[in-house]
Amino acid sequence: MDISTLCIHGAEDHTHCTGSITVPIYQAATFVHPGVGESTGYDYSRLQNPTREQVEKIVAKLENGADALAFSTGMAAVTALMELFKIGDHLIVSDDLYGGTHRLFHHISMKNGISFSFVDTSDSSEVIKHIKKETKAIYIETPTNPMMQVTDIAAISKIAKENNLLLIVDNTFLTPYFQNPIQLGADIVIHSGTKYLSGHNDTLSGFLVTRTEELSEKLRFIHKTTGAGLSPFDSWLMIRGIKTLAIRMEKQQENAILLANWLSNHPKVQSVYYVGLPTHPGYEISKKQARGFGSMISFKVDTEETAVQLLSKVKLVLYAESLGGVETLITYPMLQTHADVPKEEREAKGIDERLLRISVGIENINDLIVDLGQALG
Ligand SMILES: *Cc1c(COP(=O)(O)O)cnc(C)c1O
């Protein structure tokens, strides 16, 4: 079945008792036992809830995983994932990470005795160089946020397998609609469901998708024990959001390609980082491993004044954090998503006072261009 159809029909048949087209919201904390020592399969909603179970089934199918676990946020998912590791373990991670993940690794995981090598994972030799006997996993984001670096997932998976390491891929930016890391050799896929999967900037959620049942069992234990499962209502909103994933991803990408080209030709724009531009260093790998380029664009303007002016003059385009929704959002990574990354490290990555990031929505492209045009001046 095509992925666009799975997005709509990926839940199990739930129409048998009432004919309801939609999955019901089981707003229940606990469930009655039919007899002594018996269970309906649901005992207490921290362990499992029927509505959450349905969104998990859909996401597992979309990513071709053995299982998917739904969390209250993307960061709750990454936090639970880190419970797979213990004092002394070492991870190799992308050096251009989502700001919240960077903060978690630096301020919480390190305190818990886990060490990290932050490397440019788009260069396989850098990854190999940092493997040591304590290394347990490679953690990548591709494309990265906000610099849009692309890592060859299959190449890194080969290194991971040869060295008996887990490969973990944050697939938030491309979603299963455009990229399936498990098929390329990943063991665990992460999503901030808050972004494209939800698509409407109205729900926070996170997912871990596993390649094997064995990993699923370990993570299910952590999930039920630490307790950050997605609520029934938010699970329902996610099921609803995912139904339109295909059509949104296509339209957002179509707009992004047009906008990236328009920005590239604007006199006040100096560079455009969009993986769908043939000049982008990750263009060929993207074509090989993904079915699309997504709709995240970063760009550098000529001066800090232009950046500040743009952010204060946009009207239709909203100056707000987050990404992936139907509304086009613009952010200033230096002050928002990456504010916690030390200045030197940030600037070495190119995240400076001239860098802006746009998450392109589904508005009419001409309206977006008119708004950005007046704001850039
Ligand atoms: C937003 C985001 C996260 C964190 O997800 P939340 O739902 O905000 O907790 C993790 N990774 C990436 C790439 C993200 O964009």
pLDDT in tens, 113-132: 999 999 999 999 999 999 99
The pLDDT assigned to 17 comes to 81
Is 3-86+158-242's fold the same as 246-376's? no
* Nearest residue (CA) to ligand 1, atom 1: 192
CA of 8 to the centre of ligand 1 (A): 24
Probe target for ligand 1 pocket from 147, 169, 195, 337, with the most ligand atoms within 8 Å of CB: 195
CA distance linking residue 46 with residue 59, whole number of Å:
19
Question: CA-CA distance, 282 to 286, in Å (whole number)?
Answer: 6
Q: Whose CA is nearest to atom 7 of ligand 1?
A: 74
- Looking up tokens 């609520």, which residue turns up? 231
Please tell me if the CB atom of residue 170 comes closer than 6 angstroms to any atom of ligand 1: yes
**Nearest atom within ligand 1 for CA of residue 78:** 10
Write out the CATH class of domain 3-86+158-242: alpha beta
Q: What is the DSSP letter of 321?
A: S
Decide: 98 in ligand 1 pocket, CB within 6 A: yes
What is residue 341's predicted lDDT score, i.e. its pLDDT? 80
Ligand 1 nearest atom to the CA of residue 100, by list position: 4
Ligand 1 binding pocket mutation candidate from 72, 73, 75 (most atoms within 8 A of CB):
75
Which residue stretches of the chain have pLDDT < 70? 14-15
Q: How many CA atoms lie within 13 A of 127 on its CB side?
A: 26
Q: What's the CA gap between 265 and 269, in Å, rounded?
A: 8
- Sequence-separated (6 or more) residues with CB below 8 Å from residue 119: 92, 93, 94, 95, 126, 127, 129, 130
**Angle at CA 186, nearest 5°, toward 184 and 191?**
110
Q: Which residues are catalytic?
A: 46, 98, 170, 195
Residues 175 and 259: their CA atoms lie apart, in Å, by 21
Q: Which atom of ligand 1 is nearest to the CA of 101?
A: 10
Q: Is the beta carbon of 135 within 6 A of some atom in ligand 1?
A: no
213-219: list long-range contacts, CB under 8 Å, 24+ apart. Answer: 213/66, 213/67, 215/66, 215/166, 215/187, 215/188, 216/66, 216/67, 216/69, 218/84, 219/67, 219/69, 219/80, 219/81, 219/84, 219/188
Query: By CB neighbour count within 10 A (0-12 exposed, 13-18 middle, 19+ buried), where does 30 fall?
Result: exposed
pTM of the predicted model as reported, rounded to 2 decimal places = 0.97
Tell me which DSSP letter residue 142 carries: S
Count the neighbouring beta carbons within 10 Å of the beta carbon of residue 112.
12
Q: Is the dihedral of CA 179, 145, 265, 374 positive or negative?
A: positive
pLDDT at 286: 98
Candidates 73, 59, 125, 121; CA nearest to 93 is 121
Encoding tokens for residue 231?
A: 């609520």
Q: Show me where the domains of the chain are located.
A: 3-86+158-242, 246-376
Distance set, CA 291 to CA 101, 250, 377 (Å): 26, 11, 35
Question: What CA–CA distances, in Å, run from 17 to 23, 26, 237?
Answer: 12, 15, 22
- Cα–Cα distance measured from residue 318 to residue 288, given in angstroms and rounded to the nearest whole number: 33
Q: Assign residue 19 a region: left if phi > 0, alpha if psi is -120 to 50, beta otherwise? A: left
**What's the pLDDT score for residue 346?**
87
Assess whether the C-beta atom of 73 lies below 6 angstroms from ligand 1: yes
Q: Count CB-CB contacts under 10 A for residue 154.
A: 15
| Residue 101 beta carbon below 6 angstroms from any ligand 1 atom | yes
State the Cα–Cα distance between residues 187 and 121, nearest whole angstrom: 17
CATH code reported for the domain at 246-376: 3.90.1150.10
Q: For ligand 1, say whether the CB of 54 is within 6 Å of any of its atoms.
A: no
Q: Is ligand 1 within 6 A of the CB of residue 72?
A: no
